[in-house]
């Protein structure tokens, strides 16, 4: 099961990076996905974001959390069941 969760983490990170490039605009900020941590029961995936400059972190967080289409696009592009609930947070380690 551990291997599956690690693979799901990698797939979510890869697919979100593609979506961020194609679908999202972050004005005056560089946003990268620094980590994805999916719970063992696959109910929730915490996505850590690194934002430069850090003063734009709250604005970016509001933008991604407020985008209702993002989880639907992700679910459409990934064929995994169940699809974890995506929760974005600013990564404190960056």
38-91: per-residue pLDDT in tens? Answer: 999 999 999 999 999 999 999 999 999 999 888 889 989 888 888 899 999 999
Q: Does domain 2-90 have CATH number 3.30.230.10?
A: no
pLDDT at 12: 95
pLDDT at 82: 84
Helix (H, G, I), strand (E, B) or coil at 55: helix
Spatial CB neighbours of 45, under 8 Å, sequence gap ≥ 6:
8, 9, 12, 36, 37, 38, 39, 84, 85, 86, 87
pLDDT at 81: 83
Strand locations in 11-92 (E): 30-38, 44-52, 85-90
């Amino acid at each position: 099961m551990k291997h599956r969760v690690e693979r799901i983490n990698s797939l979510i990170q890869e697919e979100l990076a593609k979506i961020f490039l194609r679908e999202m605009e972050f004005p005056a900020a560089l946003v990268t996905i620094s980590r994805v941590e999916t719970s063992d029961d696959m109910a929730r995936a915490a996505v850590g974001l690194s934002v430069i400059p850090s003063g734009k972190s709250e604005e970016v967080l509001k933008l991604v959390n407020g985008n209702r289409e993002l989880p639907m696009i992700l679910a459409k592009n990934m064929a995994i069941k169940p699809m974890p609930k995506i929760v974005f947070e600013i990564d404190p380690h960056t």
